[in-house]
Structure 1
């Protein structure tokens, strides 16, 4: 039998007799102290004098006499630069200037150089008047609303920093990654939650939540170390008997076995090549390894985060919170490098939702190894879309929705308005290009990041169209490239047909547009009076529950004082779309009072005529097979179209359900 699954034959005395070294405790920001942002490879070594736990701080410096801050100027504004964020430091403790081989300046001239330079991490323009929308109590203990706020805020800030980096508006510094810059800013301002160290579940974090950066786990208090795979704490004193494991991240760096969705064989940490010796060494029973060993005896619950390869970009991972496990056994065995490594058997606590099993099932569906239960049609679009859309019903015997013609876009019978913008860019439009008229129409901001993620909601978003001279693959044509996600139309238990995705969806990802026939208000009123119904009507004049997707823009210097005004849609005249006879997958998206999708008006030009489209984007990170929903809104009070259709009972079941929605 495989020794991994049958450890009884292993001599466990080797594990128990090893004497631990002094542990490293997670160190969090000191009050009113800045953070020093450093980078290190995933396997170490970490710079001397710094802890491998986020936010990588050194011991507090000795008190200094107060010095009046000197305003620094950034390339894009004359605002005061955040002086709490120190310049990047390399592994040897020197500045970036020293790392490049230049001699360090004398201490008397350091401040002069700093005043003239904006090429440091300190040039991130933090707005010090920003009011953190999280109370001190919520920083200690979160809830679902706070977790969603921080997740949305963090990713919004990261996207905005990516946008500024792409245009060269802020310096890149040593740490070029926007995810680290965003987390640095949020940690500095205290925009975080669940900072209280605890065993077991994290308030507001749900099993199945997904993350695209390890640092998100730190901001939410799920897993404190940004690099180490084991998070632990000392319960009482310095004795090794008081160590306990809090969480692990299984990222596949070691030889972890995760074939069983309820059992994880986890490899200990350490044992890799050191700086002085490239030869791999045996793992030692210290720090996290020791904490996991002690958790075998204690039987405490350990949070497990699984790192899964991104199906789109194989060089990156998606991190999924898989819930609580208990450590039931441990032993030592030979690894691939012929060194001794620790193995730990973790078993999932019963009664939790199955999430990792769903990921494994979806992988098999994509590979054609198996099919989802209740499969009705492998492709609802009959080849109209470049990616098939599956039709599934495992609830009842209904064979499919009422007949309609699948159509991937809008059918305009006349232009929405006369053309107003085209660009003359060669090849593709570039962020920050002052000569691109489409950039200027978007107030100088390129609307998407380099991987086609929407940066922020806009009153109106302008894309390049067929009349523009840039080539069809331009990055400013995201909503015109068709479906990129593996979507599925499925039968819900109480709300008819719905829409979900086999793929995980990142916040800001384009999902689809609302396709159908563009009609006027008079035609809609006539159809309703004739009893035609309005189940598949999209009306831009509907009143939506207000929400802020761009709120974290306030943390950046020079942002609007009221970013919510940047999210109020500016549509010259109402657009009404009927998808009853012609439409695409958007017609199956159900209403929710707390949705995970929002719509964005998008305008582009064709033959000197401008056409308005409705594009749907992910509001938050969405795990696979999660239903996609958006807010239908309610009919405005001045709308005289058949009051009988103003309200419908809502069955969304969310914590913010208002009990009805408009149709």
Structure 2
């Protein structure tokens, strides 16, 4: 495993020396206790839960244990002794009651060894999942004051931590989607106040001790979080420990918790909240916090305290700062998205007069070399690629639509490595072709006029619930999903018609040096959203044996892993949660030929930590032995990110993945 390095004791470092900047030297050492955060608007804060005290400050009036000690017919000496006992008891309670209360609370809590910081486990110890089943009791854990740095992560370590982050994000998104769906169920879509599922999800996870990096403050990169990862909500940054402030733009260790009494900054959010900010990508001029009124207008001079002093101290000690950019994005579920752009170092700090005429503190940050490309830059590049690909890519072989208009959106093919054009040699197949006998037996549909609702036939076929919310996002994975089909009277915009409507996100088949031909998205794909169908020509077992002898490429749907069970799994929040088993289907015993006709999904790469899963769906027939293979996103997939699937176990004979013959 990697190394968990405690951050160097700041008391051992030399005293800070005055710089040539115009910072007031009197404010270097001790910040004031008054902190004015660089805040951003949020609808409502997370409600805090107060745990009742374990030891009362004074004895209850009817305590039987104390009543037994009250004098009744005792002598004066005995009465004096008892009175002195009461007096000393009260002094003891008032002096040590709070301390004993905290100690008892800590002893009663059942701590999960990995529910906080995602740090390597020493060799020889049993690794307990960081997402262990949580106790239903509330156990609010405060953020630690210990600064650590995680280094020397191997490839196996990175996959391990990435899987922890991926599962945490899946749980958060599932809770958020469920919370919004419950609100829409009560008030209808768009009715009443906008549902804040992000706050509800984060509160539930915090109450169960499922926030990451709570018992360690990681300096530098967070294990399992990649440069370019995208988030829709500020609260998700807090859940993962990337940025621990709900509203403040500067996350830092306060001076009261620091080893030498000086605050230390670890991350910032750049979202254009201050008029003096200048963002050139690799170089950033960041304005400190403070001086704003309720309308976010400068009304006072900033002070070198709180987060401002923390940034200055991080510059002095050479501490890297995680930079998250808030960007407005069209088509997003929220008004703003957040992209992690990597590590920066503060190289300069000065006090200046801002555009509004008030004094502001400015910090110049330079991005550390050797990191992957910034996610914000990839967002801009993908936008240019969608609008004018010829100017963006002057070199390389580019095909504008692999599907030849058979899909709702074009599919690009790009190769700037060699002259291989393999995807162009196959006929494009937008939907799976089933044998005629699959459609025998008819297909019953619902009689809904507008959209499917409680009690309709399709609702009952799905076990009494619709699998999608009003935004078309998958609520939770199931063994099989019945969508409304041609025999249903509901309109095409019915809530229960999602995957059959085809692709909505632009994809690109590209040539990769690592995985050969692969697929990446050119648009932001939300977690739980439908991507495309895995299409091919369906073969029975006997037909598949003949095709295998000819060396054709076959896909075996029965070998895909049950990743659908991970999406919407709320067992860590609700112990009574039961994994969906209805509608149940027998083991699939058919194959799909993709040797001559295929679609874009056939080029998706294999991964043990995939961002795409297979969900079985029926809509044009009722034969549960031959479902469609529909692909859904398991996490927020940013533009230019490669898609990956878990194809399952290898073939027992050839030892290859199921995509091979």
TM-score band, normalised by shorter chain: 0.7 to 0.9
Q: For residues 524-550 of structure 1, give each alpha carbon's deviation from its aligned partner in whole angstroms, at most 9, with x where no partner exists.
A: 211222x2421xx32222263778414
* Change beyond 3 A, Cα 1:428–1:328: same
Q: For residues 98-117 of structure 1, give each alpha carbon's deviation from its aligned partner in whole angstroms, at most 9, with x where no partner exists.
A: xxxxxxxxxxxxxxxxxxxx
Q: For residues 111-141 of structure 1, give each alpha carbon's deviation from its aligned partner in whole angstroms, at most 9, with x where no partner exists.
A: xxxxxxxxxxxxxxxxxxxx99x93245233
Q: Is the 8 A contact 2:396 2:415 kept in 1?
A: yes
- Counterpart CA distance in 1 for 2:42 and 2:651 is 59
* Change beyond 3 A, Cα 1:589–1:250: same
Question: Which among 145, 156, 159 is matched to residue 177 of structure 2?
Answer: 159
Q: For residues 587-633 of structure 1, give each alpha carbon's deviation from its aligned partner in whole angstroms, at most 9, with x where no partner exists.
A: 21122233221111111136999973110011222232222121222
Q: Is the 8 A contact 1:541 1:635 kept in 2?
A: no
Q: Is the 8 A contact 1:593 1:631 kept in 2?
A: yes
- Counterpart CA distance in 2 for 1:482 and 1:169 is 29
Local SS of the residue matching 1:401: helix
Residue pairs, 1:257-296, within 5 angstroms:
259-274=279-294, 280-296=299-315
Q: Is the 8 A contact 1:647 1:661 kept in 2?
A: no
Q: For residues 124-181 of structure 1, give each alpha carbon's deviation from its aligned partner in whole angstroms, at most 9, with x where no partner exists.
A: xxxxxxx99x9324523343332222122222222233333332399x9999411111
- Counterpart CA distance in 2 for 1:571 and 1:338 is 72
Question: Do structure 1's residue 647 and structure 2's residue 655 form an aligned pair?
Answer: yes
Q: For residues 313-342 of structure 1, give each alpha carbon's deviation from its aligned partner in whole angstroms, at most 9, with x where no partner exists.
A: 385222222221111123345556554433
Q: Is the 8 A contact 1:487 1:502 kept in 2?
A: yes
1:408 aligned residue = 430
- Counterpart CA distance in 1 for 2:224 and 2:514 is 27
Local SS of the residue matching 1:310: coil
Q: Is the 8 A contact 1:439 1:445 kept in 2?
A: yes
What's the CA shift for 1:13?
2.7
Local SS of the residue matching 2:555: strand
* Change beyond 3 A, Cα 1:15–1:544: same
Question: Do structure 1's residue 310 and structure 2's residue 329 form an aligned pair?
Answer: yes
2:616 aligned residue = 601
2:8 aligned residue = none
Question: Which among 337, 362, 366 is matched to residue 347 of structure 1?
Answer: 366
Residue pairs, 1:319-468, within 5 angstroms:
319-333=338-352, 335=354, 337=356, 339-356=358-375, 357-368=377-388, 370-372=391-393, 374-401=396-423, 403-414=425-436, 416-417=438-439, 418-429=441-452, 433-468=453-488
* Change beyond 3 A, Cα 1:253–1:480: farther
Please, what TM-score do these two structures have when normalized by structure 1? Answer: 0.72
Q: Is the 8 A contact 2:555 2:593 kept in 1?
A: yes
- Counterpart CA distance in 1 for 2:240 and 2:42 is 24
Local SS of the residue matching 1:215: helix
Q: Is the 8 A contact 1:603 1:612 kept in 2?
A: yes
1:42 aligned residue = 40
Question: Which among 615, 632, 637 is matched to residue 647 of structure 2?
Answer: 632
- Counterpart CA distance in 2 for 1:62 and 1:174 is 35
Please, what TM-score do these two structures have when normalized by structure 2? Answer: 0.72
* Change beyond 3 A, Cα 1:635–1:525: farther
- Counterpart CA distance in 2 for 1:303 and 1:205 is 11
2:116 aligned residue = 139
- Counterpart CA distance in 2 for 1:490 and 1:572 is 34
Residue pairs, 1:63-102, within 5 angstroms:
none
Local SS of the residue matching 1:167: helix
* Change beyond 3 A, Cα 1:578–1:452: same
Q: Is the 8 A contact 1:460 1:600 kept in 2?
A: yes
What's the CA shift for 1:248?
0.5
Question: Do structure 1's residue 13 and structure 2's residue 22 form an aligned pair?
Answer: yes
Q: Is the 8 A contact 1:161 1:178 kept in 2?
A: yes
Question: Do structure 1's residue 621 and structure 2's residue 640 form an aligned pair?
Answer: no
Local SS of the residue matching 1:553: coil
What's the CA shift for 1:231?
0.4
- Counterpart CA distance in 2 for 1:485 and 1:14 is 50
Question: Which among 582, 594, 604 is matched to residue 579 of structure 1?
Answer: 594
Q: For residues 244-293 of structure 1, give each alpha carbon's deviation from its aligned partner in whole angstroms, at most 9, with x where no partner exists.
A: 21111112333475653311222222332249x98843433331122112
Local SS of the residue matching 2:202: helix
2:270 aligned residue = 250
Which stretches in structure 2 are left out of the alignment for 5+ residues? Answer: 1-19, 58-108, 120-160
Local SS of the residue matching 1:428: coil
Moved more, 211-220 or 280-289: 280-289
Q: For residues 28-71 of structure 1, give each alpha carbon's deviation from its aligned partner in whole angstroms, at most 9, with x where no partner exists.
A: xxxxxxxxxxxx9934899xxxxx8xx564886655779xxxxx
Q: Is the 8 A contact 1:466 1:606 kept in 2?
A: no
* Change beyond 3 A, Cα 1:336–1:434: farther
- Counterpart CA distance in 2 for 1:416 and 1:615 is 18
Moved more, 211-220 or 377-386: 377-386
* Change beyond 3 A, Cα 1:584–1:144: closer
Aligned length: 542
Question: Which among 27, 33, 36 is matched to residue 22 of structure 1?
Answer: 33
- Counterpart CA distance in 1 for 2:333 and 2:530 is 20
* Change beyond 3 A, Cα 1:611–1:295: same
- Counterpart CA distance in 1 for 2:504 and 2:50 is 48
Question: Do structure 1's residue 544 and structure 2's residue 567 form an aligned pair?
Answer: no
- Counterpart CA distance in 2 for 1:313 and 1:426 is 30
* Change beyond 3 A, Cα 1:421–1:427: same
- Counterpart CA distance in 2 for 1:291 and 1:448 is 45
Moved more, 279-288 or 207-216: 279-288
Q: Is the 8 A contact 2:279 2:285 kept in 1?
A: no
- Counterpart CA distance in 1 for 2:233 and 2:491 is 33
- Counterpart CA distance in 1 for 2:577 and 2:50 is 36
- Counterpart CA distance in 2 for 1:193 and 1:25 is 26
What's the CA shift for 1:452?
1.4
C-alpha RMSD over aligned residues: 3.9
Local SS of the residue matching 2:642: coil
2:535 aligned residue = 515
Question: Do structure 1's residue 481 and structure 2's residue 501 form an aligned pair?
Answer: yes
